[in-house]
């Protein structure tokens, strides 16, 4: 199983999005949330912000497994143990002594995968896009100080979480409605016309009244909203479905460029 999954998949060890800047803009407290799993930082942040129930999706099986490992680590490890597992050893294999404390909290599939991953001493740098130092990632997430870590741990233990391997275009088949949806930068990786149809036809049906969909996350200079997005997010078409287009711009802590988030609200 391990070779087949790693042959075709990789994921980010930690998010490359400034989640601490834009996820608090969406009210998820006590709400039902649909989010990309990605590195596991999206669901961890949503839980910290108060999500009651969460469905995590990803087309990438390794991302679901890595995210499952991280969420289980949050629930079972102290902040020092978490830092040792994910930050202090950023390259090379996962050490058995760091893995053992979280092992019993894993579901059977994730357990089987990481038992083999650790046993065969798979190098993290061969399957993770990056695994940055804590002083860098703490500028993008909310959970790294001790108080917030404990709050995240408690929130995840109180949140009902499920995971599904799915292409974003298959999500409507879940036939569920959500208060909030987080799609990361998937819009940049799929056909624009297909994504536009999903935004205009499926998203309004997937959102509860008053719900919000973070539909795009892009790396653009302030004030630059390119033709791609003008065409992709058509306010006149969306307004007919009760959807308003909102844009939020903010400075990236690592560069001079700015990130843009598009929000859809029902």
Beta bridge partners of 53: 32, 160
pTM, rounded to two decimals = 0.92
From first CA to last CA, the distance across the chain in angstroms is 41
Q: What is the distance between the alpha carbons of residues 235 and 225, in angstroms, rounded to a whole number?
A: 14
Q: What is the distance between the alpha carbons of residues 264 and 53, in angstroms, rounded to a whole number?
A: 20
pLDDT in tens, the chain (266 residues): 788 888 778 888 899 888 998 999 999 999 999 999 999 999 999 999 999 999 999 999 999 999 999 999 999 999 999 988 987 666 788 999 999 999 999 999 999 999 999 999 998 888 888 755 656 788 889 998 889 999 999 999 999 999 999 999 999 999 999 999 999 989 888 998 999 999 999 999 999 999 999 998 877 665 666 666 667 788 888 888 888 888 787 777 766 666 777 777 76
Burial label, 250 (beta-carbon count in 10 A; 0-12, 13-18, 19+): middle
Give residue 235's Cα distance to chain centre.
26
CB 185 within 8 A of CB 216: yes
């Amino acid at each position: 199983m391990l070779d087949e999954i790693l042959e075709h998949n990789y994921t980010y060890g930690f998010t490359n999005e400034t989640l601490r800047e834009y996820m608090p803009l969406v009210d998820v407290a006590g709400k039902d949330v649909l989010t990309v799993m990605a590195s596991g930082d999206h669901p961890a942040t949503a839980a910290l912000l108060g999500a009651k129930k969460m469905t995590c999706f990803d087309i990438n099986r390794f991302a679901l497994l890595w995210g499952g490992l991280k969420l289980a680590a949050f629930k079972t490890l102290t902040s020092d143990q978490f830092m040792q597992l994910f930050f202090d050893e950023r390259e090379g294999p996962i050490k058995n002594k760091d893995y053992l404390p979280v092992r019993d909290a894993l579901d059977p599939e994730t357990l089987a995968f990481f038992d083999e991953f650790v046993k065969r001493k798979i190098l993290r740098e061969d399957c993770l896009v990056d695994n940055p130092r804590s002083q860098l990632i703490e500028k993008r997430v909310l959970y790294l100080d001790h108080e917030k870590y404990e709050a995240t741990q408690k929130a995840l233990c109180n949140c009902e979480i499920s995971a599904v391997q799915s292409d974003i275009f298959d999500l409507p088949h879940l036939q569920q409605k959500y208060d909030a949806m987080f799609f990361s930068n998937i819009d940049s990786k799929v056909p624009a016309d297909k994504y536009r149809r999903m935004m205009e036809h499926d998203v309004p049906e997937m959102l509860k009244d008053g719900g919000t969909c973070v539909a795009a996350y892009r790396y653009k200079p302030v004030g630059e909203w390119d033709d791609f997005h003008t065409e992709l997010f058509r306010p006149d078409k969306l307004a007919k479905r009760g959807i308003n287009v909102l844009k939020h711009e903010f400075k990236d802590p690592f560069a001079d460029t700015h990130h843009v988030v598009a929000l859809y609200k029902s």
